[in-house]
Structure 1
């Protein structure tokens, strides 16, 4: 395939535009606020009845994320291996995309009376969203040369921020001025927003689905597909012994992702439950995060070009440590807004750089990129499982989200120390140039 083809690269980036509305509306803004309000107990307490268990709505939200990503981590090795051997990578990407989008649309029926099925639909939307991204990410080494990874990855994240902001603005207009749309029932605007996420996701996903290649079919192998699927994951794990920098990066990535992605999923719940901030204020704050995030993606892409990916990532993780320290002491809306904008600046930048750094560290002669990105995404999913579980468990045991924030702070410190073990390729090449001169 011709690499750096403008049409194919732009089509690939458009999947960020398509799926990021799930990350913004369902994960970060409207749905968490709606979930927190709808899942309240009969007396208005934060505890809710889930299959006979009394559990805080915020903890239920966190545990749902944990279980969903645990399921995804179990499915990904099987699906990506089959995709590599059958050449049907795009088919699997489509399957997960449509599963997630349809689940979002069905959340339109989420009310107090449908809490349990809605929790399952929320989990299914997470599985569809995260599963499709596995295959989406794996296209990067196939469509671009290494020197373009950072720029194209940043372009994708920036388009994702921009597209999701446009849809959020429309949804926010319904929430703030329902009478303009002829809506009288209080819960309807939020529920319509879940419906629009699914429609937007499916509609714009047709662009990458049209232009991206289906995948290259490999020679048929003997054995059970299930066995071969996990054999591929085991094979990638075995290759890490021959690629020490890749192994060190994955261990650091696993740790700091535990903190980063957990903050993404629980930040709005923290503002609503711990700080008692108004729903509209929270949603507007999340909107600002997205706008700042567009600049953040490009800033970190530029920074990586100046000092190298690893040092740029270290700066980002160090900022996250400061974010957690600030969040622990936050008591006012203005303080929360400042921290939220800082989150926006580093959130997309670190995610974008992590993806491109991993792509750079994959050996150039590798053809089964889906299996390599399967390993990357399984690592990410397991990090989310552990991070959200730790966050929920600490809150459940101590009764305070602030203690959970402290746990995340420790996680980021460990992640920074692990990144410190990896030499920056930028600095390494500069030293070689200096010796040659």
Structure 2
């Protein structure tokens, strides 16, 4: 059977240009390929080498926290490597190691805070970008076009780090903002394909009659039994969504582990030369350059194989040609996107289960981002671990993240656990991480010198646990959210998911940075993390998946009935901008 034959229509299109063809293995491979491409930057870049590079670049321009006069690092000329070795090895001398501060944007911040503040600014910019442009993805062919645009912007930015040395350290935060924004936006667009891939999956052809009955029931806004008309379909779709999502996460983590192993080899090779002594960040910047190449290369199958799955056409401007300049067109569509996002937000507020999930996800994603960023900087500054040791920690975490992504679906099937239950279990177990860090405050444990993350080896079991739990959370969070989304609004609602995710992720790192600036140490931040991890649990427990899908179907049915056509327009924005 040819690709075109396999992609023959399954359902009647609701609008001109809608692609209801069956999801094929080739299309799924295109979807998986982008996870392989971008997850490497998410893990190797954002999760490890970006914060470490930011901290080291700031350190090379900073002074000691204690006297604010002595340089933290003295980078010698190429012929004076003995002094360099002495200066750079001072990190491991116990009492000689002090927190460093750098003067940036008119304030003195610790080098660890410099990295945390930059990541907070990056995710905040990412959220603003999603608000301004995400609504285009649900109209026309823009979902895939925007995905590829962000992919190649991000890959280019990652490569540019090769040219950012200590004298240009102030450019590093700008590149981080562009890179993290591109990564988050592209993953949002990739996630928006997930409900479409599930809906059009080839297994659903066998259930076509059941689907038609479900849709006829959904078209009746007075119905009170939409989800009861096909409760098995919800279960099947949840399982399929979790399976596809888990495989994508697992393949992405596998790619990240492979690149992490290569990065350790690169670091070892560089350590045999004099380059790290004269330019400590150059090996890490070289790895970021390679990560950019990887991202660009493995995005090619996504470009070739992932079907655009276009949405309804964008609304048009007023029919007065003399007003349609480039500026007015740009303003029109900018207003359209912001208005559509506002409309999506208003629709989401009317969906109680979506609200519950997004509040829980806001808190959970904040905890995840803050724990990940804090762990790397804690290992670097408190445990005095070198770059290779931190890279090995990352490899440990991501390897077990890959194992967790593939293992959690098996555990769920064996114990008949719902996706929501798996997510709650992962959240409960995540609390172990900050609680273990807090053991370092107990006097007899502190005096023993081991326990409570006082020795470098202790952080590796924590990395194992973190990886296993992240594999489950990354796989199941979006599969729990996907059935709650009204049909035809996938990108807009996943943009709201990402804004909630990344908007919250700007809060935790900034608060940790504030704590570190005042305490001069990272350990007190574990108190904040222990509280933060607990908060989403009760909300997830309260979430009702069947009712959420029922509410989403009713909203679609009501919109269709009100508009008198296949797809309801975005709230607050008419198809023809007659107000102009």
Q: 2:470 aligns with which of 322, 347, 362?
A: 347
Specify the alignment match of 2:112 in structure 1.
58
Gapped regions of structure 2 (runs ≥ 5): 1-19, 64-70, 73-98, 200-236, 318-331, 439-451, 548-580
Q: 1:199 to 1:372 in 2, by over 3 A?
A: same
Task: Report whether the alignment pairs 1:118 with 2:228.
Answer: no
Higher relative helix content: 1
Specify the alignment match of 2:39 in structure 1.
20
Specify the alignment match of 2:82 in structure 1.
none
The 5-angstrom pairing of residues 181-196 of structure 1 reads 184-186=274-276, 187=280, 188-196=282-290
Task: Report whether the alignment pairs 1:370 with 2:480.
Answer: no
Task: Report whether the alignment pairs 1:169 with 2:292.
Answer: no
Specify the alignment match of 1:37 in structure 2.
56
How far apart are 1:52 and its partner, in Å?
A: 4.0
Calculate the TM-score normalised by the size of structure 2: 0.70
Q: Distance in 2 between matches of 1:82 and 1:132?
A: 13
Task: Report whether the alignment pairs 1:98 with 2:149.
Answer: no
The 5-angstrom pairing of residues 394-409 of structure 1 reads 394-409=515-530
Specify the alignment match of 2:430 in structure 1.
320
**Alignment partner of 2:275: what SS?**
coil
Q: 2:408 aligns with which of 281, 284, 300?
A: 300
Q: Which runs of 4+ in 1 moved over 6 A?
A: none
How far apart are 1:222 and its partner, in Å?
A: 4.8
How far apart are 1:403 and its partner, in Å?
A: 1.8
Specify the alignment match of 2:483 in structure 1.
360
**Alignment partner of 2:115: what SS?**
helix
Specify the alignment match of 1:433 in structure 2.
none
How far apart are 1:349 and its partner, in Å?
A: 1.3
Larger radius of gyration: 2
Root-mean-square deviation (Å): 2.1
How far apart are 1:264 and its partner, in Å?
A: 2.1
Specify the alignment match of 2:304 in structure 1.
210
Equivalent residues of 1:100, 1:124 under 8 A apart: yes
Q: Distance in 1 between matches of 2:490 and 2:478?
A: 13
How far apart are 1:317 and its partner, in Å?
A: 0.6
How far apart are 1:86 and its partner, in Å?
A: 3.4
Calculate the TM-score normalised by the size of structure 1: 0.91
- Work out the number of aligned pairs and report it: 423
Q: Distance in 2 between matches of 1:400 and 1:202?
A: 38
The 5-angstrom pairing of residues 284-299 of structure 1 reads 284-299=392-407
Q: Distance in 2 between matches of 1:389 and 1:175?
A: 30
Q: 2:315 aligns with which of 221, 227, 232?
A: 221
Specify the alignment match of 2:102 in structure 1.
48
Q: 1:250 aligns with which of 330, 337, 358?
A: 358
Specify the alignment match of 1:144 in structure 2.
198
Task: Report whether the alignment pairs 1:2 with 2:96.
Answer: no
Gapped regions of structure 1 (runs ≥ 5): 427-437
Q: 1:361 to 1:3 in 2, by over 3 A?
A: farther
